[in-house]
């Protein structure tokens, strides 16, 4: 149970911009990120838009070429290193992704049967004559009726579309699924339904999730480990219980204090005396020193000049901030 299924070491993904003007500049979307996920974990990767969380997902999937660093998958003792965009079929079978917007990630000209049969055929999961049976089985897994097979994505609702995308990810019996904000465009009542479904599948199929989101209160309820990202770097990473009991990084405290909550008990859990200020700067011009110092209320002189390195504060709790330098 405790084997690491994914290990990301010092991952960097840069995008070159202004190529034509001669001055080559880089957007450092992901800038030296390291983390590992154990089998059976649900890791939450949280950050504001532009923090690079989706870029990490796409780099892991092989959709972007990493500028530097290593991504090592470990399935049944066999490690797969994803190098650039030459991914083996075995890798594609084991690692799947569910995108944020189901409207644009499902082909509107195909019906659900065609959408789901492609991965079944590619990975030769079942013989050709049993494909429809298998599709019905997978649809049942996400609690959709088998008659859904003949519908097209345009004729079904947003929540149902997202269920079809989840079903598509499940087709190849993956071990690891990346969920890129799967519920952020949906209503809370449908979000609750989909999250419950994902948790049920997680238990039954013994999966590992990397859950990308901006919703910290959702992560409190489902994840085992949370990492906070800001401008391409991880600020704080800790197991869920410890994370919410003692959030250390000033940015984490700011994020937690800005969540709109619906009860007094929750209000008491939010860090006090933290006022959110400013906006995330453009990743083209990352501030010098600690990238968060422009918005930090506890900013010191050292923060303006020196970029902090990640410190270990307790066994699994890591913070990248000068305040906690031992």
Partner 1 sequence: MENTLLDIKNLKVWYRTYKGYAKVVDGINLFVNKGEKVGLVGESGCGKTTTMKTVLRVLDSKVATVPEGEILFKNRDILKMKYNELQQVRKQSISMISQEPTAALNPVFTVGSQIMDIIRYSEQYKDYSKSEMLSLAVKTIKDVLIPDPERILNSYPHQLSGGMKQRICIAMALVTPRELLIADEPGTALDVTVQDQIHKLLKALVEEKKMSLIMITHSLGVARELSDRIYVMYAGNIVEVAQTKELFKNPLHPYTLGLMECVPRLYGGGISEGIYGYIPDYINPPAGCRFYPRCPSAMEICEKEKPPTVSVSEDHKVACFKYH
Which tokens go with 44?
A: 């939450």
Binding flag, residue 221, partner 1 (CB under 8 A): yes
299 binds partner 1, rule: CB under 8 A: no
- The answer to whether 271 contacts partner 1 (rule: CB under 8 A) is no
Among 10, 276, 298, 314, binds partner 1 (CB under 8 A): 276
Q: How far is the CB of 6 from partner 1 (least distance, A)?
A: 25
The verdict on 108 binding partner 1 (CB under 8 A) reads no
Number of residues lying near partner 1 (CB under 8 A): 43
182 alpha-carbon distance from chain centroid: 9
Q: Could you tell me which residues are beta bridge partners of residue 179? A: 98, 211
Q: Is 279 in the site for partner 1 (CB under 8 A)?
A: yes
How many residues comprise the chain?
Answer: 326
CA distance 206 to 163: 19
**Tokens linked to 162:** 């997202």
Residue 266 binding partner 1, by CB under 8 A: yes
For partner 1, the binding residue among 270, 287, 302, 307 (CB under 8 A) is 270
Q: Which is nearer to partner 1, 1 or 262 (CB)?
A: 262
98 close to 112: Cβ distance less than 8 angstroms: no
Residue 141 sits in the site that holds partner 1 (CB under 8 A): no
| Complex with partner 1: residue 95 or 255, whichever CB lies closer | 255
Count helices and strands in the chain by DSSP H and E runs = 12, 12
Task: Please identify, among the stretches 60-68, 72-80, 119-127, 195-203, the one whose residues bind partner 1 according to the rule CB under 8 A.
Answer: 195-203
Considering only 37-45, 107-115, 250-258, 284-292, which stretch makes contact with partner 1 by CB under 8 A? Answer: 250-258
Q: Is residue 261 a contact point for partner 1 (CB under 8 A)?
A: yes
Does position 201 interact with partner 1 (CB under 8 A)? The reply is no
Helices 131-141 and 158-170, interaxial angle, to 10°? 120
Binding partner 1 (rule: CB under 8 A), the pick from 154, 196, 246, 314 is 196
DSSP assignment of 92-118: HHHEEEE-S-HHHHS-TTS-HHHHHHH
* Three-state helix/strand/coil letters over 33-50: EEEEEECCCEEEEEECCC
**Quick check: 125 binds partner 1 (CB under 8 A)?**
no
CB 259 within 8 A of CB 217: yes
> Is 277 among the residues that bind partner 1 (CB under 8 A)?
yes
Q: Compute the least distance from the CB of residue 40 to partner 1, in Å.
A: 17
Handedness of CA 150, 154, 160, 161 (dihedral sign): positive
For 168, residues 6+ apart whose C-beta sits below 8 A from its C-beta are: 106, 115, 116, 119
- φ and ψ at residue 96, rounded to 5 degrees: -130, 165
Q: How far is the CB of 296 from partner 1 (least distance, A)?
A: 12
195 near partner 1 (CB under 8 A): yes
Site of interaction with partner 1 (CB under 8 A): 48-49, 157, 159, 187-196, 199, 214-218, 220-222, 240, 244, 254-263, 265-266, 269-270, 276-277, 279-280
């Amino acid at each position: 149970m405790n084997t690491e299924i994914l290990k990301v070491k010092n991952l960097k993904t840069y995008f070159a911009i202004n190529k034509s003007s001669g001055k080559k500049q880089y957007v450092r979307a992901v800038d030296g990120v390291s983390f590992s996920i154990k089998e059976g974990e649900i890791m939450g990767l949280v950050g504001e838009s532009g923090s690079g969380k989706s870029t990490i997902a796409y780099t892991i999937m092989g959709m972007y070429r990493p500028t530097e660093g290593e991504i090592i998958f470990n399935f049944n003792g066999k490690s797969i290193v994803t190098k650039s965009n030459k991914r083996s079929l075995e890798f594609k079978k084991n690692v799947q992704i569910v995108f944020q917007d189901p409207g644009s990630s499902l082909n509107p000209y195909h019906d659900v049967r065609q959408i789901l049969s492609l991965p079944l055929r590619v990975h030769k999961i079942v013989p050709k004559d049993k494909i429809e049976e298998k599709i019905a089985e997978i649809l049942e897994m996400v609690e959709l009726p088998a008659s859904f097979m003949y519908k097209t994505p345009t004729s079904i609702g947003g929540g149902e579309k997202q269920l079809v995308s989840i079903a598509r990810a499940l087709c190849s019996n993956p071990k690891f699924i990346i969920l890129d904000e799967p519920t952020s465009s949906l209503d809370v009542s449908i979000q609750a339904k989909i999250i419950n479904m994902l948790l049920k599948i997680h238990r039954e199929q013994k999966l590992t999730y990397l859950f990308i989101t901006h919703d910290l209160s959702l992560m409190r309820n489902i994840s085992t480990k949370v990492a906070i990202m800001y401008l391409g770097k991880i600020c704080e990473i800790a197991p869920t219980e410890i994370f919410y009991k003692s959030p250390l990084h000033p940015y984490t405290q700011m994020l937690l204090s800005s969540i709109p909550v619906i009860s007094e008990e929750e209000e008491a859990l939010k860090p006090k005396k933290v006022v959110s200020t400013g906006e995330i700067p453009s990743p083209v011009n990352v501030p010098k020193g600690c990238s968060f110092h422009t918005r930090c209320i506890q900013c010191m002189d050292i923060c303006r000049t020196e970029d902090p390195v990640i410190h270990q504060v307790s066994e699994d709790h890591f913070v990248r901030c000068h305040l906690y330098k031992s």
